[in-house]
Amino acid sequence: MLPVVALVGRPNVGKSTLFNRLTHTRDALVADYPGLTRDRKYGQAQLSGHNYIVIDTGGIDGKEQGIDLEMARQSLAAIDEADVVLFLVDGRTGVSSGDDMLAEHLRRQDKPVFLVANKTDGVDALVAASDFYSLGLGDVYPIAAAHGRGVNQLLSQALSPFLQDWSDDNEHTDSDIDEPVIDEEALAEKQAQELEDLPIKLAIIGRPNVGKSTLINRILGEDRVVVYDMPGTTRDSVYIPMQRNERDYVLIDTAGVRRRGKIADKVEKFSVIQTLKAIEDANVCLLVIDARMGISDQDLSLLGFILNAGRALVLAVNKWDGLTQDVKDEIKRELDRRLGFIDFANVHFISALHGTGVGHLYESVEAAYSSATKRISTALVTRILEMAREDHQPPMVKGRRVKLRYAHAGGYNPPRIIIHGNQVSALPDSYKRYLMNYYRKALEMTGTPIRIEFREGE
């Protein structure tokens, strides 16, 4: 369950400011494919350790013409995609005619809308908010996006139905009040057992036209698998159960290959939200890149989302047919240069069109999945911690050495290693990176991000 929150409102009310605060901007995916304007931005944010998606829109004020009209269309599309809408107004200027228009549209929607009066810093928040009750959208939430005031309360409120779901998921973790100590190790073990019995959920991810449909058809054709058409709306990815090398898979088709019904055009077919949801739901993501287009910003954004979600990763550089050696060499150099930071993931050069290299993808997918779900025993990760410490001691902080005592598993897919010690918050990033690399080598993990977390005390 990956909730989607849309930010809408007139230009200049502070949507981008709020977006940046929620997502820390780094991973904004700007959907500037033909037909999608730059004005819809997608970012990943977190509340109480759970991911959600934020969509920022350019703004809408009801007087749009020309390019602005397209912008308005994007706002409406974002509302359509969202589970929750945050309608921002300017708490310093009071209601304007653009607000009326959007309020009316939102009142007709069958989805939760939160009316947010922004820029209430330095003014009386309640007085500023009171003007907006006339919009007929109920409570007004005063915030100051630029300073963060009121933002957490707002999001906790807006996402509370999902928080409820999330805590239902983890009933065994926090429902038992008599037992305050959560046994993370036991939970991790339970998760690992569950993962063992399930098929590998493999999402085929990539921008439009990189060859996802061709690849999926190739995979399905070659495997002569029993394919069930699973019902779903055009909004959802299609889930296709299949088998390969006696392993059960569920292929998550974001390209709509198996979708019934007519799809107007390519761009219509590509939905960022659908892609982000597929990433969240997958165990392994196969990121398809078009060799002929090089590595684009969107490829990097998608990669960022995959890594943020902690998913295992395999890269497929597609359309590798008919390229000269010079071009191939150049592409490989570009990959080294720009994707050096994911050197833990396997890269395959394939031709979905001709089938070249496609069969070998499974080896990497399975390797990535088994790395992501490989049991981490307390004895082993503690031993590795000791070795890492012997090779290179943690630094001194204020005359005392940071102590790292022992480690254990905190979860899988992605593997989480919890390290207990003293003064761990003072541990510099360079030493954290060192530990990360040390663990990656020692545990022989390919194709999955690893999370290392530190706990103070026993």
Give, as ranges, the residues between 347 and 376 that touch ligand GDP (CB under 6 A). Answer: 351-353
CA atoms within 13 A on the CB side of 184: 17
Query: Which residues are CB-contacts of 188 (< 8 A; sequence separation ≥ 6)?
Result: 376, 408, 409, 410, 411, 412, 416
User: Could you give the CA distance from residue 446 to residue 148 in angstroms, rounded to a whole number?
Assistant: 39
Give, as ranges, the residues between 132 and 171 that touch ligand GDP (CB under 6 A). Answer: 144-147
Helix H or strand E encompassing 339: helix 325-339
Strand residues in 37-112 grouped as ranges (E): 40-47, 50-57, 84-90
Nearer to ligand GDP, 318 or 446 (CB): 318
The residue within the footprint of ligand GDP, chosen from 1, 12, 136, 268 (CB under 6 A), is 12
Cβ pair 287, 302 in contact under 8 A: yes
At residue 10, φ and ψ (nearest 5 deg) are -60, 160
Nearer to ligand GDP, 317 or 418 (CB): 317
Angle (deg, nearest 10), helices 67-81 and 97-107 = 40
The residue within the footprint of ligand GDP, chosen from 3, 43, 98, 208 (CB under 6 A), is 208
- Paired with 30 in beta bridges are 41
State the greatest distance between any 2 C-alpha atoms of the chain, in Å, as a whole number: 69
Cβ pair 420, 405 in contact under 8 A: yes
Summarize the annotated binding site for GTP as residue ranges.
9-16, 56-60, 118-121, 206-213, 253-257, 318-321
Nearer to ligand GDP, 158 or 417 (CB): 158
To ligand GDP, the closest distance from the beta carbon of 140 in angstroms equals 15
Q: Does residue 212 bind ligand GDP (CB under 6 A)? A: yes
Nearer to ligand GDP, 4 or 71 (CB): 71
Nearer to ligand GDP, 3 or 208 (CB): 208
Nearer to ligand GDP, 118 or 448 (CB): 118
CA atoms within 13 A on the CB side of 355: 8
Which amino acid would we find at residue 42? Y
Query: How many residues of this chain interact with ligand GDP, rule: CB under 6 A?
Result: 31
Q: Does residue 206 bind ligand GDP (CB under 6 A)? A: yes
186 CB neighbour count, 10 Å cutoff: 10
Nearer to ligand GDP, 51 or 118 (CB): 118
Query: Which residues are CB-contacts of 147 (< 8 A; sequence separation ≥ 6)?
Result: 121
Q: Does residue 201 bind ligand GDP (CB under 6 A)? A: no
Q: Does residue 267 bind ligand GDP (CB under 6 A)? A: no
To ligand GDP, the closest distance from the beta carbon of 88 in angstroms equals 7
To ligand GDP, the closest distance from the beta carbon of 68 in angstroms equals 12
- Paired with 118 in beta bridges are 90
Q: Does residue 319 bind ligand GDP (CB under 6 A)? A: yes
To ligand GDP, the closest distance from the beta carbon of 449 in angstroms equals 24
Both tokens of 170, joined, read 């983890």
- One character per residue 241-260, x = contact with ligand GDP (rule: CB under 6 A): --------------x-----
Show the CA angle centred on residue 440, arms to residues 367 and 377, nearest 5°: 85
Cα-based distances in Å from 20 to 47, 142, 272? 15, 18, 19
To ligand GDP, the closest distance from the beta carbon of 225 in angstroms equals 19
To ligand GDP, the closest distance from the beta carbon of 257 in angstroms equals 7
To ligand GDP, the closest distance from the beta carbon of 337 in angstroms equals 23
Nearer to ligand GDP, 348 or 408 (CB): 348
Cβ pair 40, 48 in contact under 8 A: no
To ligand GDP, the closest distance from the beta carbon of 7 in angstroms equals 8
| Interaction site with ligand GDP (CB under 6 A) | 9, 11-17, 59, 118-119, 121, 144-147, 206, 208-214, 255, 318-319, 321, 351-353
